[in-house]
Structure 1
Amino acid sequence: MARIGVDVGGTNTDIILETFTTDSVGAGAYRHKVPSTTEDQSIGVLKGVIEVCEKAGIKRNEVSTIVHGTTVATNISIEHNGAEVGMLTTKGFRDILHIGRHKRPHNFSLHFDVPWQSNPLVKRRNRIPISERILPPSGEVEVSLDEEEVRQAARKFKESGISSVIVGFLFSFLNKEHELRAKEIVLEEIPDAYVCCSCEVVDAMREYERFSTTAMNAYVGPKTALYLKNLERQLNENGIDADLRIIQSNGGLATVDSCCEKPVNILMSGPAGGVIGGNFFADLDDEKNIITVDIGGTSADISTLAEGDIKIMNPRDSYVGGHPVMVPMIDLITIGAGGGSIAYIDEAGGFQVGPRSAGSMPGPACYGRGGEEPTVTDANILLGRLDADQMLGGDLKIDPDLSYKAIKEKIADPLGLSVRDAALGIIKIVNNNMALAIRSNSVARGVDPREFMLMPFGGAGPVHGPALAEEVNAKGVIAPPAPGITSAAGLLTTNLQYEVTRSYLCELTSVRDRHAEALQSLLEELDMEAVNKLVKDGVEASQIKLTRFAECRYHGQGFELRAEIPEGELTRGSIQQVVENFHRQHDIDYGYRYDDAEVELVTLRVVGESASKMLEWKELEPANGKGFEEAVMYERDTTFADGQTLVTPRYDRDKLLYGHIVYGPALIMQHDSTSLVPPGWSASVSRFGNLMISKNKLTYGV
């Protein structure tokens, strides 16, 4: 039996297959890459899965599980090509989605775009007010639902060709009755409609964020569901009867059915696998403080992990395509910087790189697929940092003359630069763009990069790693054993996971008995809901782990932080522990705490997960002073960041053993990536195959 991790990027689809018939991943793991098919990701996924099975020499029906990271939902939200959505909402609150909150994207700019107004998820003409009203704090019904109005609205949607509908009523998190009944009526009128209620998507307070999240769910839902169901069907038709699992934005896995119902949970599916994979490889060598930088063909995804903790973003910061999306997401930043990022001269004569990308088709100019614009990959080829005859082990045919031509015509000649200086400029600009993003995810949040190792991966990651580490003053660089498929490997190291929430406002510091009883009752309901979701996926109840959180704030604050709730029955003692956990988290995030201030609970959250089999990674054979010469390949000229061109040896990474040290200048070559070791730096091979690259030699060997 075997399982497969498949991560779809903007340029390549990365695949790793792990068999269970061997006792080590060295003999039982197979890596593969295919070009991403942007017109339909499932084409590239299916091709890659079939080819990696052939490469491993296993039958297709031996694959038991496929874990998939996809950018389908993300691309829909960014490209604004989702479904036409209709909305039923409480009379008098039709324009909540347009007004938003008083917080503006750029407070002091007179010329800025407001995405929720310029590109609304639900057009105003498709937002129909309904007579109904629920009152806080008890959820009491003041105005009963006007079912005839709902029915007439559904018929209007049908006449307009709208088949994706959301129901968002005021205070439905206190009483779901009206929303669920409205959904029933819509389905009676439009049986094949994609309908979702705000209480089903995000059962928490704050109408604007709740409505926006539900609208995003319906906006990306039909196309995402079509893609996932189509992929599942194609796999089955090709003899691959495997359980298909999708990684969610929070790093947990979910079933296809669950993701079809709530595709808003997989908006950051693609980048999540990279953070988890980076953490996995760093943890093998006991490195806990890392900054992951996933540099692919189109974008760079950056996340800071302190003490091995993958941080979940605060809901107030969760935006996708400019719209607030109140679902749990791994805390990361994505910028348009990758191997395919295009260099150009803007209208004002400025030298720019990205965010526009050449993608996989036509790709960088050197690919010879019709691309004529210079990219970061073209610059690396021209500078000798990537060898044209070694890309993907020689499988990817590269023409360096096309790189030279593109950089000369589009950058060097217009700016009056030499071609070499133009190429160096491309690298310097893209590195600076990434360094700014790294600082915003670390220094700007009180994290000192000098205490962190930078972990660059993705096909383009390790060649940029040392320059980025020097730019942000990181302690050093970790190039994982398989940089090009680190995200795919991360998919095989995470658990099946669901999160359920319920809003309940009360003071915790001076909690009353009736509130404590209500909280205990709500936690039991949430526990059962999380367990039922996992049991539905075939998980035994004994294999389920539940973690409870209270999302709290100081009285008067506008947003919350997570504080863990102790296991067992909720008592006054455990409530006080929640208060202390909140104080501690506030101190970590903001550098201060108010021990005497009232702490207010806003939302309860329960995370249910079932542990999956972890990816096994084989230790390298110790060098014991031998074998280094066998890794030497050849020498070629390479131009470094300071402009000097040096004859630089190349090493075959697959032949390096635990304890080998490579002194710069050097390029360490492998099928899916190239690691750069500048002059004055050294790379030490760790026990599990990580390259520890540093100015001050880090010795992980013997």
Structure 2
Amino acid sequence: MGDRRGRYRLAFDIGGTFTDFALLDMSTGAIEVHKLMTTPDDPARGSLAGIGALLDRVGLTGEALQNVIHGTTLVTNALIERKGAKAALLTTAGFRDTLVTGEEARYDIYDLTLRFPEPLVPRYRRLGVDERVDHRGRALRSVRPEDIAQVVAALREEDARDRAAGSTTDTASLAICFLHAYRNAENEQAAARLVREIWPEVDISLSSDVAPEIREYERTSTTVANAYVRPITDRYLRSLADALWDLGYPERLYLMLSSGGIATVETASEFPVRLIESGPAGGAIGAAFYGKACGETDLISFDMGGTTAKISLIQDNRPTISHELEVARVHRFKKGSGLPIQFPSVEMLEIGAGGGSIARIDELGLLKVGPDSAGADPGPVCYGKGGSEPTVTDAAVVLGYLAPENFLGGEMPLDRDAARRAIEEHLAEPLGLTVEAAAWGIYQVVVESMASAAKIHLVERGRDPRQYALLAFGGAGPIHAAGVARLLKQDRIIYPLGAGVLSAIGLLVAPVSFEFSRSEPKVLDTIDWPSVNRLVAELEEQGRGVVAEAGVPAGEIVIERHVAARFAGQINEISVELPEGALDGDSHGTILAAFHKAYFELYGHVLEGIPVEVVTWRVVASGRLSEVTVEHRAAEENPARPQARGHRGVYWFESGKYYVDTPVYDRYALAPGTRVEGPAVVEERESTVLVPPGAVGTVDGYRNLIVVSSPGKEN
């Protein structure tokens, strides 16, 4: 078979229920995939086992791997479960309570028992330093060595007491966030130098490095979160890299960032907070990649796994990027109830439950699904691992959507009878329903909630869901996509081959990318362009350095420049692209026109006569380690009618009866050009596609199954 060293790229994404793997042959574009249950007690253990199993299956060793890319939920879980370091915060004197006062706004004005998330750093570990920089960046008071020595001594004394009491929690993690440090970082940098002189083992996160942007609460929250997860992330990533080395993998390990780019272990360890949406971002990148392959530039990606379901808006083959994110919400679906994080991330709306979400009757006697999940351990009842409460997956088994004998290619048989008993006991009997009706109720509640949330999200952004194709993936996405699309009045759904592990496939095709930013609020008419050019050049230099360090040749690095602007007096900004080359007086009109255009597209009008304020300058440096081409096959001229590998009873909403005898097809046997007429079930190892009655699916050259709900319409 020739020398296969360095010919393959491997990606793995650890989710709440399953860990997904994808192996790409760079010379042919062929992809091999794998999926197994996540090991919550030690996620790396399951990952290494899966990597070994996948390599063994194709007859490879670690030496065949050119790159390994990883998506992880480690940071998200650490923040949600409060399992990070025992961090501390140094801040400007008088501002130690910024993490508590926040924006002084109620996210639900009618909730008399309103709760906010507890700060990651308790008040007694938030210490003030007598220093001051004003809003223009002028240093009014410098940091004094004696002040730093005093606060460090207090922290070290407390840590010594904790160790003496037997505490094993990380303690040497420190966030430094001074007022207006985004304009002038001198005091933060001076404080860091002084701390390291007397506390060399401490791990320090500076707000001027982590999030050099305006908004004091968000900047402080982001920096504290970075300090909180940095020690555990660094240990995990280095341990994982060493384990891969032991497997014979000689190259670097790369991490998927929330922004949809990948970075080295070193960069990810420095800014671990940027890993919060690591895995889901891979799904959005994979969706954009396959959308482009089949000619769909504008998509709604629909990712439903074992724990959650998320959508992302993709336009011009690029996922929408947001610079506002919340994590560890007190109320899962209430914005403002979580910890704000300020960095670039693929904008994803969590719209519902996952396959492991538990169904129960609430205090009003109504059927409710989620937000709590059975996860990977014990998992749904049908897994036979000790779960007792019915879940979305159990409903799918009862309705005939999942074949108990073919789950995960037959490696993990499901217990349909146990699922039926759980639904009967917990839901059907109390509600006076049949088991089938209760199972359909679970399915419909999930689909209705996801469609409603998706519709609101899109309408708020001025988008009509009917104008977009839906690209469905995740282990549970292809089962529920037809129901969501029906409610959103979408007539075109794309199911990629390997949809159950698309997040891992997305890691394979993602570029090396990193964003640097800095806030310099100015009215557009008063900008000092030479000063702006120096600032942007510094950001470009930082970006090029990070991307080059990841292995991208200097001549292949691409730079994108943006500025976040707003009408003076407003709160929220809109990001617009900057013109190429040096910025000068002529750039004023270009930026103003771009801002007015973007504002009109969002709100339908422009505020004439109101000055525009530019707030934050951003530079994204990116480049690919190597071009990725996924295998493409020409359609057969006269593809034979697909042969069903069997039939089973399936409930179809369109038929209104239990059960309809339905043909079941093997996804891997469907050649490009093959047509599948609904009703039909199409099974692959990691997911199952439902083709409803009246719909027609066609397989394209990339093995995507494209389902159109209106017969006769071109696929």
For the pair 1:207 / 2:216, whether they are aligned, the reply is yes
For the pair 1:169 / 2:182, whether they are aligned, the reply is no
Which residue of the partner structure matches residue 448 of structure 1? 464
Cα gap change, 1:614/1:334 in structure 2, threshold over 3 Å: closer, same or farther? Answer: farther
Query: Please, which moves more after superposition, 207-216 or 339-348?
Result: 339-348
| In 1: Cα distance, 2:706 partner to 2:493 partner | 6
1:456 alignment partner, SS class: strand
Which residue of the partner structure matches residue 37 of structure 1? 39
1:602-647 deviations in Å (ceiling 9; x for gaps)? 1111111112334322223423233324x32111111122541211
Query: Please, which moves more after superposition, 518-527 or 588-597?
Result: 588-597
Q: Which amino acid aligns with 1:123?
A: P
The answer (yes or no) to whether the contact 2:520–2:615 under 8 Å persists in 1 is yes
Q: Which amino acid aligns with 2:625?
A: S
Query: Please, which moves more after superposition, 638-647 or 563-572?
Result: 638-647
| In 1: Cα distance, 2:62 partner to 2:370 partner | 40
| In 1: Cα distance, 2:318 partner to 2:597 partner | 15
Which residue of the partner structure matches residue 15 of structure 1? 21
Cα gap change, 1:633/1:501 in structure 2, threshold over 3 Å: closer, same or farther? Answer: same
Q: Which amino acid aligns with 1:369?
A: K
Select the residue among 626, 644, 650 that pairs with 1:632: 644
Which residue of the partner structure matches residue 610 of structure 1? 623
TM-superposed deviation, 1:350 = 2.6
Write the mapping of 1:438-587 to structure 2, written as runs, cut at 5 A: 438-508=454-524, 510-511=525-526, 515-587=528-600
Q: Which amino acid aligns with 1:564?
A: E
Which residue of the partner structure matches residue 667 of structure 1? 681
| In 1: Cα distance, 2:61 partner to 2:95 partner | 57
Query: Please, which moves more after superposition, 101-110 or 519-528?
Result: 101-110
Which residue of the partner structure matches residue 75 of structure 2? 73
The answer (yes or no) to whether the contact 1:685–1:700 under 8 Å persists in 2 is no
The answer (yes or no) to whether the contact 1:332–1:441 under 8 Å persists in 2 is no
| In 1: Cα distance, 2:61 partner to 2:357 partner | 38
TM-superposed deviation, 1:168 = 1.0
Q: Which amino acid aligns with 1:577?
A: T
Which residue of the partner structure matches residue 679 of structure 1? 693
2:451 alignment partner, SS class: helix
1:632 alignment partner, SS class: coil
The answer (yes or no) to whether the contact 2:521–2:614 under 8 Å persists in 1 is yes
Q: Which amino acid aligns with 1:124?
A: R
The answer (yes or no) to whether the contact 1:303–1:333 under 8 Å persists in 2 is yes
TM-superposed deviation, 1:699 = 5.6
| In 1: Cα distance, 2:595 partner to 2:110 partner | 33
The answer (yes or no) to whether the contact 1:452–1:475 under 8 Å persists in 2 is no
Which residue of the partner structure matches residue 597 of structure 1? 610
The answer (yes or no) to whether the contact 1:684–1:700 under 8 Å persists in 2 is no
Select the residue among 113, 127, 145 that pairs with 1:147: 145
| In 1: Cα distance, 2:639 partner to 2:92 partner | 75
Matched residue count: 688
TM-superposed deviation, 1:403 = 0.9
Q: Compute the TM-score of the two structures, normalised by the length of structure 2.
A: 0.93
Cα gap change, 1:256/1:378 in structure 2, threshold over 3 Å: closer, same or farther? Answer: same
1:442 alignment partner, SS class: helix
| In 1: Cα distance, 2:66 partner to 2:712 partner | 40
| In 2: Cα distance, 1:673 partner to 1:380 partner | 12
Which residue of the partner structure matches residue 246 of structure 2? 237
Which residue of the partner structure matches residue 426 of structure 1? 442
Select the residue among 50, 53, 56 that pairs with 2:52: 50
2:501 alignment partner, SS class: helix
Which residue of the partner structure matches residue 159 of structure 1? 157
Which residue of the partner structure matches residue 97 of structure 2? 95
TM-superposed deviation, 1:416 = 1.7
1:40-64 deviations in Å (ceiling 9; x for gaps)? 2211111111111111211212212
Select the residue among 266, 284, 304 that pairs with 1:275: 284
| In 1: Cα distance, 2:385 partner to 2:457 partner | 36
| In 2: Cα distance, 1:436 partner to 1:614 partner | 38
1:47-103 deviations in Å (ceiling 9; x for gaps)? 111111111211212212111111110111122222222111111212111111133
Q: Which amino acid aligns with 1:192?
A: E
TM-superposed deviation, 1:700 = 5.6
Select the residue among 631, 655, 660 that pairs with 2:669: 655
Gaps of 5+ in 1: none
Q: Which amino acid aligns with 1:662?
A: V
Which residue of the partner structure matches residue 125 of structure 1? 124
For the pair 1:641 / 2:653, whether they are aligned, the reply is yes
| In 1: Cα distance, 2:365 partner to 2:518 partner | 53
| In 1: Cα distance, 2:579 partner to 2:497 partner | 38
Query: Please, which moves more after superposition, 203-212 or 318-327?
Result: 318-327
| In 2: Cα distance, 1:360 partner to 1:124 partner | 36
Superposed CA RMSD: 1.7
Which residue of the partner structure matches residue 285 of structure 1? 294
Q: Which amino acid aligns with 1:324?
A: P
| In 1: Cα distance, 2:551 partner to 2:146 partner | 40
| In 2: Cα distance, 1:485 partner to 1:678 partner | 23
| In 1: Cα distance, 2:647 partner to 2:554 partner | 58
The answer (yes or no) to whether the contact 1:684–1:699 under 8 Å persists in 2 is no
Q: Which amino acid aligns with 2:12?
A: V
| In 1: Cα distance, 2:616 partner to 2:663 partner | 57
Identity %: 36
Q: Which amino acid aligns with 2:158?
A: S
TM-superposed deviation, 1:319 = 5.1
For the pair 1:689 / 2:703, whether they are aligned, the reply is yes
TM-superposed deviation, 1:331 = 0.9
1:232-269 deviations in Å (ceiling 9; x for gaps)? 11111222223211111110111111111111111111
The answer (yes or no) to whether the contact 2:261–2:510 under 8 Å persists in 1 is yes
For the pair 1:395 / 2:411, whether they are aligned, the reply is yes
2:664 alignment partner, SS class: strand
2:228 alignment partner, SS class: helix
Gaps of 5+ in 2: 1-6, 160-170, 330-337
Q: Which amino acid aligns with 1:145?
A: V
| In 1: Cα distance, 2:307 partner to 2:382 partner | 16
Query: Please, which moves more after superposition, 440-449 or 396-405?
Result: 440-449
Query: Please, which moves more after superposition, 613-622 or 153-162?
Result: 613-622
TM-superposed deviation, 1:595 = 4.8
| In 2: Cα distance, 1:610 partner to 1:356 partner | 39
| In 2: Cα distance, 1:595 partner to 1:658 partner | 53
Cα gap change, 1:359/1:319 in structure 2, threshold over 3 Å: closer, same or farther? Answer: closer
| In 1: Cα distance, 2:254 partner to 2:490 partner | 35
Which residue of the partner structure matches residue 3 of structure 2? none
The answer (yes or no) to whether the contact 2:352–2:450 under 8 Å persists in 1 is no
| In 1: Cα distance, 2:56 partner to 2:712 partner | 39
The answer (yes or no) to whether the contact 2:462–2:601 under 8 Å persists in 1 is no
The answer (yes or no) to whether the contact 1:692–1:698 under 8 Å persists in 2 is no
Q: Which amino acid aligns with 1:383?
A: L
TM-superposed deviation, 1:564 = 0.7
TM-superposed deviation, 1:222 = 1.7
The answer (yes or no) to whether the contact 1:489–1:615 under 8 Å persists in 2 is no
| In 2: Cα distance, 1:10 partner to 1:698 partner | 40
TM-superposed deviation, 1:567 = 1.5
